Amino acid sequence: MKSTTKYLVALIWVTLFATACNSSVKQDQPVEVKESPVSSKTSQAVSLKDDQLNAIYPYYQHLTAALVEADATEAKVAAAAIELGAKEIPGAGSISSLASKIAATNDIETQRIEFAALSTHFIALLKKAGIGGGELYIAHCPMASNDKGADWVTNSREIKNPYFGESMLTCGTIKETLK
């Protein structure tokens, strides 16, 4: 099992490195995000101004989708990719650390707690770097984090709540649009 995990981490790292270092990729090239529980038919391709963020953004969406579906195993896979990719981004140490905590547990509730903090830092990084094309939305669930509220990034105006999943799937509102 340990060698399988090492192999998976190595494969994710190679994929991230190849994506981030591919000189044929233009900075404003859209990131293709496949249909997932957090996407909808109204979602659009988004390009981020930072190539390294482009490399981890799909994994953030994957993590969000896994939490919506309460799939701790998939959340771990996505978080491991975020952890590795964030290590290469200046100022993203907290994202890497939080992703590591998500990847280290099988408990979906613990993963959701760490996701709230990870999302706060990810949103700050997105705002600093900027959106090259398309739109991203910052959604807010007022009941997450013991009624303190928590945000997440989505590429759709349709609410799919990663903090409560199926039990409160549409709880939340779009509070900001990033363009």
Q: Digits of tens for pLDDT over the chain (179 positions)?
A: 444 344 444 444 444 433 333 333 333 333 333 334 444 333 458 999 999 999 999 999 999 999 999 999 999 999 999 999 999 999 999 999 999 999 999 999 999 999 999 999 999 999 999 999 999 999 999 999 999 999 999 999 999 999 999 999 999 999 999 99
The phi, psi pair for 104, rounded to 5°, reads -90, -5
Residue type for 25, please? V
Burial category of 11 from C-beta neighbours within 10 Å (exposed 0-12, middle 13-18, buried 19 and up):
exposed
Task: Please tell me the predicted confidence (pLDDT) of residue 23.
Answer: 33
**Does residue 98 contact residue 114 with C-beta atoms inside 8 Å?**
yes
The per-residue pLDDT for 44 is 58
User: Which pLDDT score is estimated for 31?
Assistant: 36
Q: How many CB atoms lie within 10 A of CB 87?
A: 17
Q: How many domains does the chain have?
A: 1
| Residue 117 lies in domain | 2-178
Distance (Å, rounded) from C-alpha 101 to C-alpha 106? 10
**H helices within the chain, ranges in order?**
2-21, 51-68, 72-86, 93-103, 108-129, 144-147
Q: Could you tell me the CA-to-CA distances from 131 to 25, 29, 46, 59, 163 in Å, in that order? A: 16, 11, 8, 17, 25
Tokens of 155: 């590429």
Q: Do the beta carbons of residue 33 and residue 45 sit within 8 Å?
A: yes
Distance CA 93, CA 73 (A): 23
Q: For position 77, what pLDDT does the model report?
A: 98
Which of 107, 128, 120 has the alpha carbon at shortest distance from 148? 120
- pTM of the predicted protein model: 0.77
Question: What residues are paired with 140 via a beta bridge?
Answer: 151, 173
